[in-house]
Amino acid sequence: MIAGSLAKRYAKALVDVAAASDDLEAIRQELAEFAGLLRVHRELRLFLANPSVLRRDKTRALDEVLASLRLRPLTTSFLRILLEAGRLPVLDNVLRAYQALVDERLGRVKAVVTAAVPLEADAQERLRLRLEQVVGKRVYLEVQQDPGILGGLIAQIGSLVYDGSLRTQLARLREQLVRG
């Protein structure tokens, strides 16, 4: 809970500054790139989070990594602030909060769509347009594949879940047959 509210405060501050320079999406992409790098490079993540490593050594290492990524100055400054405050471990939470605030500011929502097979571009576009009609906001899709749903789709927008999967339909049919 504390990490979540802390992440939201950092994210809000970054959104406010990034909006002034119209870099909201670019900053999100750069934060996601760096967060992904930390997930992949365990040694770097542990080094930067280690309380026994001197701050100047952490800063030097971070600066080398950031220089190689060629991030915007705002992103670089923000990541340095997180490091100096000992908050890099909550970067994933900050990134999620940042994305939510950007979406809210831009009047859009993310729909996480799960399909049993890959969705073609035209099917994704039709689905996106239909979801926009349902929720009354601009929608962008994050498409995942899960053969376990057997067929159909599951779409989640915030706490709303539209489950049209074959797995769920079969489960409902099974319940009806058992009840008589």
Q: Are 146 and 152 in contact (CB under 8 A)?
A: no
The reply to whether 79 and 136 lie within a common domain is no
The pLDDT of 52-63, averaged and rounded, is 95
Whether 10 and 96 map to the same domain: the answer is yes
Strand arrangement, sheet containing 153-157: 138-145, 108-115, 153-157, 160-163
pLDDT digits (tens, 9 = 90+) for 101-128: 999 999 999 999 999 999 999 999 999 9
- The answer on 122 and 90 residing in a single domain is no
> In Å, how far are 148, 159, 164 from 116, measured between CA atoms?
7, 21, 11
Same domain, 76 and 42: yes
Q: Are residues 98 and 45 in the same domain?
A: yes
Per-residue confidence (pLDDT) for residue 2, from 0 to 100: 57
Q: What is the number of domains present in the chain?
A: 2
Q: How confident is the model at residue 7 (pLDDT cuts 50, 70, 90)?
A: very high
Residue 14's H or E segment, with its range, is helix 2-20
Q: Once rounded to an integer, what is the mean pLDDT over residues 67-83?
A: 96
Residues 94, 158 within the same domain? no
Whether the per-residue pLDDT at 37 is higher than 70: the answer is yes
Of 104, 135, 169, the position where a domain reaches its end is 104
Claim to verify: residue 37 and residue 20 sit in the same structural domain: yes
Q: What is the mean pLDDT of residues 11-15?
A: 96
Predicted local distance difference test score (pLDDT) of residue 69: 94
Q: Does one domain contain both 83 and 126?
A: no
Domain at 47, CATH number? 1.10.520.20
Q: Looking at the structure, do residues 89 and 7 belong to the same domain, yes or no? A: yes
Q: What is the pLDDT of residue 4?
A: 76
**Which of 42, 69, 104 lies at the terminal end of a domain, its last residue?**
104
Check whether 15 has a pLDDT greater than 90: yes
Q: Are residues 98 and 114 in the same domain?
A: no
Q: Do 76 and 136 have their domain in common? A: no
**Last residue in a domain, options 43, 73, 104:** 104
Domain that holds residue 54: 2-104
Q: In this structure, is the dihedral angle defined by the CA atoms of residues 48, 49, 51 and 52, taken in order, positive or negative?
A: negative
Grade residue 180 by pLDDT with cuts at 50, 70 and 90.
confident
Confidence of residue 3 (pLDDT cuts 50, 70, 90): low
pLDDT confidence of residue 66? 94
On whether both 10 and 39 belong to a single domain, the answer is yes
pLDDT category at 70 given cuts 50, 70, 90 is very high
